[in-house]
Amino acid sequence: MNGALPDAFDGPGRRALAALVANGLAQAACVVAGALAVRTVFQGLGTVGAAGPALWAILLVLAGSGAALAGLRWLERVQAERLGQTYAARVRLLLFDALARQPQRVAARAHGALLMRVAGDSAALRRWLARGVPRLIVGGLAGGLALAVLLRWLAPVGGVALAAYALTAVALATAARRTTPAVRAARRRQAALAAELGDRLGALATVHLFGQAGRERRRLDRRQRAVVQAMVAQRRALAGLAALSQAGAAVAAALALGAGAWWVQQGGATVADLAGAVALLALAGPSVAGLGRVAADHEAARVARERLGALLTGMSSAPAIAAGPATHAEPHGSGPAAGQERQVTRPGGAIAVALRAVTLRGVVDDVTASVPPGGRVAIVGANGAGKSSLLALACGLVAPDSGDLTLDGMPIAALSPADLRRRVGVVSPEVPLLRGTLGRNLSYARPRASVGRRERVAALCGVDELLQQLPQGEATRLAGGARNLSWGQRQRIAWARALLSGPGLLLLDEPDAHLDAASAGHLDRILQRFPGTVLMVTHDLQRLRMADEVWHLEAGRLVERGTPADLLAGATRTRTLFARQLRRVS
């Protein structure tokens, strides 16, 4: 990843460009043929008997060239749209791939601003390729051939038109550069508004519960006014380019007509020659007049490329999620026989985890610890102690700044992303359910899981009971984050999603928070029957006592480590942390 966008004209893009050039040449030929037909018709007006078959043939050529020109312009739009859409799709996939490789702290920036990059800026590139490039190619070919013919027919007319068009092009190039600040400001304002909307729409419950709807509306209104001003300023600048090109085309036509009339008066050309020249300018003129829109599209695309390139460069400089060479994991079996619930999740073995002086700047500080295969570790501490960050390190969502983290003795950076995802299952509020069917979410990590395996995991996690309550079963549609389900129902689906892939290491980030009694019972069954290794962040005394070992974090440091019995019996920080719950059960 070097921060560079792909070349729009490599591979299929080169073929599309060649097709557009061929189309442009054909359109230029139609323009010249039409102008020649007009010239011939006017020449025949002064000839007795000209209204015979020859004249009708010429008129047929004129009509045919017009019809062919219309068809070619239709084809041009189709070819150009395919070129633009194909390139925009490549850019969106490139951005998705780059984001998917980023650690969570890099990828979790404002969703609205990211959407502006993925959708808005890629759309600007699409418009340039689908609208600007074709107009530039076809307009350049048509205008160039028209000028060449004019210079041959009527040198004064061609010379005046060439000079006027050249001055218009220079003026457009100069004016286009001056629109860049307005385009950049508009994109910034749009991104800020999108980020604001995305954040507030995702937290409407907070807005309502704290009675801040009016305040947020005023804030949104200020953002919108800024966007309106920026967009109007951008439109004013870009509309100026369109006006400049149209004015240039009109002035060029007027000057050329005046030069032609003078040349006819001087006896250097006939009225028929002038009529053909006027027809040529009329047919080629729209291509020249459209150069203002071409310049506007180019400036918008240039700003979009800068923004997308900066985003990709920023992501390339951040440490990526582990993406080492592919390793060969033990193949998953087809699942145990019915009734063997101990083997419901992983046909292979549990995973040993070891951390040696692991540091993640600002959140995890020099942590050294290990857990044997099949061990249960409860990670405890106050809010902000680094517990969730430790889990993010263990699953490769975040790369440590220093230290070593190994799974079964293998550095996590040496595991391919696919192998890592097979070995590690994660349940966390930071890993939400996706919009779509319940069944798709269940099998997200392992789409081809057997029916028997799905049923066993569903029974272990209590999803089978949930499916019986939902009329559409696995076909039930989930909103983003499964907001149309209760918290306990979401957790059951998340547990099953993590277990279905058969991981050897299960990472649980506060899985017991806000659970109803039935869901809590299913969580206990998972902890008892899962054969792999478990790292679990918890604030619950009952789950703490189910662990083999406790890791107590404070300000990112591992300050206590031991069995639940030892840490709850003495004068320890862990006992102090759970003092209130201990008093309730004593």
Are residue 423 and residue 519 in the same domain, yes or no?
yes
Q: List the CATH number of the domain containing 391.
A: 3.40.50.300
Residue 315 has a pLDDT of 64
| Same domain for 401 and 259 | no
Q: Tell me if 345 is assigned to some domain.
A: no
Q: How many domains does the chain have?
A: 2
- Cβ-based neighbours of 480, under 8 Å, separated by 6 or more: 432, 434, 435
132 and 255, same domain (yes or no): yes
Asked if residue 389 and residue 306 are part of one domain, the reply reads no
Rounded Cα distance between 80 and 83, Å, is 5
Residue 334 burial (CB count, 10 A) = 9
Q: Of 317, 338, 359, which one is at a domain's C-terminal end?
A: 317
- Say whether both 523 and 378 belong to one domain: yes
CB-based contacts of 238, cutoff 8 Å, min separation 6: 179, 182, 183, 296, 299, 300
Q: Are 113 and 251 in contact (CB under 8 A)?
A: no
From 317, 334, 361, the end of a domain falls on: 317
With a cut of 50, list the residues of the chain below it in pLDDT.
Answer: 1-2, 48, 50, 106-108, 110, 320-348
369/222 same-domain check: no
Q: Are residues 374 and 260 in the same domain?
A: no
What pLDDT score was predicted for residue 336? 33
Q: Return d(Cα 561, Cα 569) in angstroms, integer.
A: 13
Query: Which three-class secondary structure state does DSSP give residue 549?
Result: strand
Q: How many CB atoms lie within 10 A of CB 148?
A: 14
CA 72 – CA 85 distance, rounded (Å): 20
Residue type for position 512: D
- Both structure tokens of 429: 């509020």
> What's the rounded Cα separation, in Å, for the pair 81 and 317?
34
334 occurs within a structural domain: no
Residues 289 and 374 in one domain: no
Q: Which domain holds residue 225?
A: 12-317
Contacts of 509 (CB under 8 A, 6+ apart): 387, 388, 391, 426, 427, 428, 429, 430, 537
Q: Do the domain assignments include residue 304?
A: yes
| Residues 356 and 223 reside in one and the same domain | no
Q: Is the same domain home to 403 and 546? A: yes
In a domain, 415, yes or no: yes
Instruction: Give pLDDT, residue 335.
Output: 34
The residue among 275, 291, 317 that closes a domain is 317
What is the C-alpha to C-alpha distance for residues 351 and 329, in angstroms, rounded to an integer? 12
Residue 199 is assigned to a structural domain of this protein = yes
CATH code of the domain in which 196 resides: 1.20.1560.10
Tell whether 366 and 300 lie within a shared domain: no
> For the chain, what's the residue count?
586
Decide if 569 is inside a domain: yes
Q: What is the pLDDT of residue 375?
A: 94
pLDDT for the residue numbered 270: 80
Report yes or no on 177 lying in a domain: yes
The amino acid at 576: T
DSSP secondary-structure letter at 415?
A: S
Cα distances (Å, whole numbers) of residue 63 to 23, 31, 67, 145, 430: 19, 11, 6, 20, 65
Identify whether residues 308 and 390 lie together within a single domain.
Answer: no
- Residue 114's pLDDT is 65
Whether residue 331 is contained in a domain is answered as no
